[in-house]
Amino acid sequence: MVICVSWVPELAKTRELLLRQAGYSVTSVLGRQELSKLPEIPNACLFILAHSVPREEKLEALTRFRHNSIAPILSLLRPHQSALPGVDYAVEAFMPREFLNAVATATSHRRTGWSVDCTNCNLIFDIREDMVAFLVSDRQSTTLQCPHCRTTADYEPREFRRAPKTSKEQ
């Protein structure tokens, strides 16, 4: 269970979709009025504070979350913004890959090893390892469907990217 605190509903929804696609269950907390539900959310493996959350509300969210959980805290930062005390990870992650890699590092969650960028919506989606082996050995290209926008497109093996290993996997 990943908890995401955000002040911008559209960004919260995008992060939620990315995290669900990567295999996480997600609870979004939107705005100051929903901070009170933080102590009621059990079994979090990660707490994410979006860059849109004002500093005072971030501190309040940290305090409320820490009353009930010892899970790591990931703070998403704006450029040149400093990390708050009490967070375990603080990153500038504006691209989907950067964001998911920061989450994977914070949770030590091993994600699928291969991915491709959607030609329509530009979101990254994972490809199963066995599918990549089949495609590379037998075909010049294949048609894949983006799970986000449902667009189908032909991809060549050179477009597949291997996800970087975290320090624990190396």
Whether 167 maps to a domain, the answer reads no
pLDDT score, position 169? 41
Q: What is the mean pLDDT of residues 25-34?
A: 91
pTM beyond 0.85: no
Same-domain check for residues 18 and 66: yes
Same-domain check for residues 141 and 60: no
Domain span at 124? 114-162
Tokens of 132: 């990549």
pLDDT score, position 129? 52
Contacts of residue 170, defined as CB under 8 A and 6 or more positions apart, other chains included, come to none
pLDDT score, position 156? 79
Strand ranges, E, within the chain:
2-6, 26-30, 46-49, 73-76, 89-91, 114-117, 124-127, 142-145, 152-155, 161-162
Number of domains in the chain: 2
Encode pLDDT of 70-129 as tens digits.
Answer: 788 999 998 888 888 878 889 988 888 889 989 988 887 444 467 788 889 878 777 765
